[in-house]
Amino acid sequence: MTVENLVSVASALADPTRARMLVALMDQRVWRTARDLAQVAGVAASTATGHLNHLVDLGILLERRRGRYRDVRLAGPHVAEVIEAVAALGNRPDAPVRGLREASIKAALARGRTCYDHLAGMLGIAITDALVRSRLLTHESLTLTAEGEAWLSEALGSPFQPGRRQPSRACLDWTERRPHLAGAAGAHISTVFHERQWVRPTGSSRAVLVTPTGNDALRRLFGGKISTVG
């Protein structure tokens, strides 16, 4: 690690326009256009392009060209982990909520959301706690137990194949201020929940809502070991 590298990345994250763009890209591996991100950040398209170029140059974003256009996304789960962890640092109070719509979005994000490719908010924490109570994860480091690795395939009915990725890790939740499950296990759970429509996106933010089928699935998977969300 070099001081220069730390300063350049910290400076990139500290800019409010770039920060808004990065938070928008915390959706589940979504590609977004420069125009989309300009609207999110409230800047002109030309201004957004300059910020995106800087983030691509630093390796924080990846770009995909489509003729005259390009899409961008986070460079990987390691970038999402940094953004989530940095957002949870410090003790500054939240900015005042301006209007009912903003209050609704904030509440929805706190209940449940995607954190790049895994579930976060009260929903992510509730699932993590239930896995710990079931001894499928260790309490301290959220390491998968042997039973937990088998459960991910057997109980969810979908093969768990972490590949070269870290099987499980803790990701600091910026609304709950405590770790939720990430890594290959967190991504696997999120994928299954989305594919089976146990959760669905709500509105235009990263918020997700547990469906009635999802509530049934949570009760079947965890019984009384999971707390109510929503």
Half-sphere exposure of 42 (CA within 13 A, CB side): 4
Q: What is the pLDDT of residues 151-163, one digit of tens each?
A: 999 999 999 999 8
User: How far apart are the C-alpha atoms of 85 and 207, rounded to whole Å?
Assistant: 18
For residue 49, give the H/E element and its range. helix 45-57
Mean pLDDT of the chain: 88
**Per-residue DSSP letter, 134:** T
Q: What is the largest CA-CA distance in the chain?
A: 54
DSSP assignment of 139-205 equals TTT-PBPHHHHHHHHHTTTS----TTS-S-EEEE-TTTSSEEEEHHHHHHHHHHHHHTTSEEE-TTS
To which residue do tokens 């990345």 refer?
9
Reply yes or no on whether the pLDDT at 65 is more than 80. yes
Asked whether the beta carbons of 182 and 77 are under 8 A apart, the reply is yes
- What mean pLDDT do residues 130-139 have? 95
CA distance 171 to 47: 32
**Two tokens at 96?**
């005042």
Packed helices 34-41 and 16-24: angle between N→C axes, nearest 10 degrees = 120
Res 47 pLDDT > 80:
yes
Judging by DSSP bridges, how do beta strands 169-172 and 32-33 pair with one another? unpaired
The pLDDT of residue 18 is above 90: yes
Q: What is the pTM of this model?
A: 0.81
Amino acid identity of residue 24, one-letter, is: A
Q: How far apart (Å, rounded) are the C-alpha atoms in residues 216 and 148? A: 21
What pLDDT, on a 0 to 100 scale, did the predictor assign at position 180?
94
Structure tokens given for 61: 């974003």
Lowest mean pLDDT among 20-29, 82-91, 129-138: 82-91
Which of 201, 162, 182, 166 is closest to 82 using CA atoms? 182
The pLDDT of residue 148 is above 60: yes
Mean pLDDT over 213-230 rounds to 82
How many Å from the N-terminal Cα to the C-terminal Cα in the chain? 42
CA angle 26, 194, 144 (to 5 degrees): 80
pLDDT at 133: 94
Q: Which has the higher per-residue pLDDT, 122 or 205?
A: 122
CA–CA separation, 64 and 69 (whole Å): 9
Check pLDDT > 70 for residue 75.
yes
What SS3 class is residue 67? coil
Mean pLDDT of 114-131: 94
Mean pLDDT on 217-227: 84
The predicted-structure confidence for 82-119, as pLDDT tens digits, reads as follows 888 888 776 666 666 666 777 787 888 889 999 889 99
Q: How many helices (H) and strands (E) does the chain have?
A: 10, 9
Quick one: pLDDT band at residue 80, thresholds 50, 70, 90? Answer: confident
